[in-house]
Amino acid sequence: MSVKVIIPTPLRVYAGKADSTEVSAKTVGEALGQLTTKFGDLRKHLFTEDGKLRSFVNVYVNDEDIRYLSKENTPTKDGDTISIVPSIAGGLV
């Protein structure tokens, strides 16, 4: 299953400056696993030390938040887009 993962601007520095990458995965968890294998520096920004997805990082399959689907077990199909959306605070500075 070829799935596109969109990497947000703040995390691109940990992903060799890539803005997206293709992975082959049947679930969101698998896709993120492959992503962090490919880009090791991303791991600590996406997962806590005990391997849980960090609470300030939201993950979407197409336009749906995986917290309201089956979280990391959410299935993915060919052509799906996974978006990683971390909180950003900037505005005034």
Partner 1 sequence: MSTKVQPITSPPSPATKATTLTNEEILRYSRHLIMPEVGMEGQLKLKNAKVLLIGTGGLGAPLGLYLAAAGVGHLGLVDFDVVDFTNLQRQVTFGSDDVGKPKTAAAQARLSNLNPDIQIETFETKLTSENALELFKNFDIIVDGTDNFPTRYLVNDACILLGKPNVYGSIFRFEGQVTVFGMPDGPCYRCLYPEPPPPGLVPSCAEGGVLGVLPGIVGSIQAMETIKLILGTGESLKGRLLLFDALAMKFRELKLRKNHSCPMCGDHPTITKLIDYYEFCGVRGEEAPGPDVQVPEITPLDLKSRLDRGDDLFILDVREPHEFQICNLNGHLIPLGELPRRVHELDSSREIVAHCRSGKRSAEAVDFLHKAGFRKILNLKGGILAWSDEVDPSVPKY
Interacting residue ranges for partner 1, rule: CB under 8 A: 8-10, 13-14, 19, 41, 44-45, 54-56, 58, 60, 63-65, 68, 83, 85-93
To partner 1, the closest distance from the beta carbon of 27 in angstroms equals 19
**Under 8 Å between Cβ of 60 and 83:** yes
Q: CA quadruple 85, 76, 53, 30: dihedral positive or negative?
A: negative
CB-wise, 2 or 41, nearer to partner 1? Answer: 41
> What are the CA-CA distances from residue 91 to residues 11, 29, 84, 88 (Å)?
18, 32, 20, 9
In the complex, the smallest distance separating the C-beta of residue 36 from partner 1, rounded to whole angstroms, is 15
Nearest distance from residue 44's CB to partner 1, in Å? Answer: 8
